Every structure is written in C-alpha cells, then in structure tokens.
Amino acid sequence: MSSKTKDEKKLIRLISAYADIKNSIRTGQLLMSGVPDEIFEDIFLSFVMSYGRPFKESQGVGCIICDYPNYPTFGDSEMPVRHSRMIDLRDKFLAHSSAEGTRILITPPNVIPPLGGVISLHFRLDIGKREFGDIRFVEWLLELPKGFYFQLRADITNQLQKVFGSGSDLKQAFELATGHENFQWK
C-alpha cells in the first residue's frame, strides 16, 4: 500500500471503517429485535468488536482517529461517554480476557459445590464472565455507530470526489486497489 497517495489511503481507511460500523449497527439492531438469551452475549460481542475495529491500528489501513482526532463530534453530549464505554467494553472485557471481567469459584475434589451440582473427583471451576444483557444499554450505545455511519458516508463521498473527481467521467464500476496481499499464516 506504500504506492498509494495519502488521499487514497484515507479513502480506504474511511471505507473500511464504514464496513465495520455498518456491521455494528446491523448486530445492534439484531439485539434490539430480540435474540435468545443463549446467544445474546455472542451477538453483543460482534456489536462492540465491529464498532471498535476502526479505532485500533489495523494492518495496512491504520487507525481512524488520525482522520477524526476529536471524535465523536456529532449527536448529543453523551456521545463521548458512549464511545468511551464501547472501547472499554472492547478492551477490558470482550477482545481480551481480564481479571476485571472474570469471577472464578473453585470447588476442591470431594466437596459439595456451593452453587449446586454433584460432588466431583476433580477440581470444579465455575467461571463467570461479566455480561451486558440489559437491552436499554444496547439501545443507548447503538446511537453511537448510527451517528458515525452518517458522518462516514458523507466523508467517503467527499473523499471519492477528491480522489476521482465528480465521477461523471467514470463509465463503469471498478475495484478500488487497496494494495492488499494474499493472507499468509505466520
């Protein structure tokens, strides 16, 4: 991607962020529509992770904060708090295991488990991970990717015009060269 101009790199970064934010909105709306309890946390994970991806350094794309140093600058005064909560959720609980989000109850062999169940011949591990299943919390957070989606859409349009002109001379669809390489395992 080193042969790309600064404007082309920015366009790729904006479009990549747009795809992630669009996925965050889709999974957030899915949560709002009602999903079975046993998959709520899995879909919540996708909601938060998709939102957070553009804000972390990415291979060949970079971090969207270089384009939005004062993010978020749209919506109501709670948007910075929403953003901070989403990134904390990603960093402290969902993208990485953390002691802050985990509780462990160990029951030794041949001891009655305090949470119920059968006596075991081995150590029993009851592991609890912090959950975020309150739909009101999802509803409150969902306003953040929705607002960013519209800002990204407008900025992508402006950046496309900057890189390719008005588009009136383009006569067919084309693939934007991203400079991607085939994936290689390390």
CA angle, residues 36, 40, 43, in degrees to nearest 5: 125
Q: Looking at this protein, which amino acid is placed at residue 161?
A: Q
User: Is there a domain that residue 123 lies in?
Assistant: no
Residue-range definition of the domain harbouring residue 158: 6-100+134-164
Q: What pLDDT is recorded for position 145?
A: 97
Q: Tell me the range of 14-18, 73-77, 111-115, 174-178 where mean pLDDT is highest.
A: 14-18
Q: Pairing state of beta strands 102-107 and 124-129?
A: antiparallel
User: Is there a domain that residue 11 lies in?
Assistant: yes
Cis amide bond preceding 72, omega within 30? yes
CA angle, residues 54, 186, 8, in degrees to nearest 5: 35
pLDDT in tens, 151-182: 999 999 999 988 888 777 777 887 777 777 76
User: Is there a domain that residue 116 lies in?
Assistant: no
Residues 6+ apart with CB under 8 A from 4: 12, 177, 179
Q: Pick the more confident residue, 181 or 148.
A: 148
Q: What pLDDT is recorded for position 32?
A: 95
pTM for the whole structure: 0.82
User: Number of folded domains in the chain?
Assistant: 1
